Amino acid sequence: MIFTRGEFMQAIDMNQDGYFEEALKHRNLLDEFKPAKGDKALPLTILGFREHIFTGSVSSVANYMALQESSFVTTGQRVLNRPLCVRLHYGHPDLFDKLFCMQNGGISKASKGINLSEDVFAGYNVGVRGGSVGFKEYCQVGKGRDVGVQQIYKFEAKLAQVSLKYKTISHSPIGLLSSNRSGQ
């Protein structure tokens, strides 16, 4: 993060693709970080947007994964954002307020034993330290998903491990952060 320029940063994975027409919308995405006049809400520090799974037509298994991803990323994130207002950082291709993140613990906590899904901790950092997370649907990036049964099995096992880890550590983000700081 220290080798990047500017006030904002986008986290994107190797299996994601940026479309030219979507890149033209990034100016609008960056404008979402500006607070409205007289707005007393928490500052927007992470802004998420949709993913388009372009490997869904490869096989029936790939189609299953594309449908699963669409239901979680698009529908699930929409509901978590509004009306629930509890969306945390899901992963990539979210945009970050780089200055806020540099001053408040970074964007990920990587360690194989503790953090199986390191991206989630950026959302916890923001929630605990006074920021907010948004989600917009007018922009998207392409994403290639695993299309083999064995890769899908491993991905599903990782999700199950992450869910179990969060359940066993604590039910609150503060408990998750404090247990990770102590190295337990």
Q: What is the pTM of this model?
A: 0.76
Q: How many whole angstroms separate alpha carbon 116 and alpha carbon 7?
A: 28
pLDDT tens by residue, 141-178: 888 877 778 877 777 777 677 666 666 655 555 544 44
Per DSSP, 111 falls in state: B
Is residue 135's pLDDT more than 70? yes
Nearest residue to 50 (alpha-carbon basis) of 127, 116, 137: 137
Confirm if 87 and 48 have CB atoms less than 8 A apart.
yes
Is residue 184's pLDDT more than 50? no
Is residue 106's pLDDT more than 70? yes
Is residue 183's pLDDT more than 50? no
Higher pLDDT, 81 or 103: 103
Phi, psi at 57, each rounded to 5°: -95, 5
Residue 167: which residues within 8 A CB-CB, separation 6 or more?
none
Q: Please report which helix (H) or strand (E) contains residue 143, including its range.
A: strand 132-143
Q: How many CA atoms lie within 13 A of 133 on its CB side?
A: 28
pLDDT tens by residue, 1-38: 778 889 999 888 888 888 899 999 999 999 999 987 87
Mean predicted lDDT score pLDDT of the chain: 78
Confirm if 121 and 166 have CB atoms less than 8 A apart.
no
**Among the listed ranges 32-41, 46-55, 67-76, 134-143, which one has the minimum average pLDDT value?**
67-76
A 10 A CB-CB count for 173 gives 18
Confirm if 130 and 101 have CB atoms less than 8 A apart.
no
For residue 59, the SS3 value is coil
Select the highest-mean-pLDDT range: 7-11, 48-52, 90-94, 115-119: 7-11
Domain ranges of the chain: 8-175
- Looking at residue 170, its pLDDT comes to 52
Q: How many CA atoms lie within 13 A of 180 on its CB side?
A: 25
Higher pLDDT, 152 or 129: 129
Confirm if 25 and 18 have CB atoms less than 8 A apart.
no
Question: Alpha helices of 32-148 — where are they, by DSSP H?
Answer: 60-70, 77-81, 98-103, 120-128
Residue 67: which residues within 8 A CB-CB, separation 6 or more?
56
A 10 A CB-CB count for 60 gives 8
Is residue 132's pLDDT more than 90? no
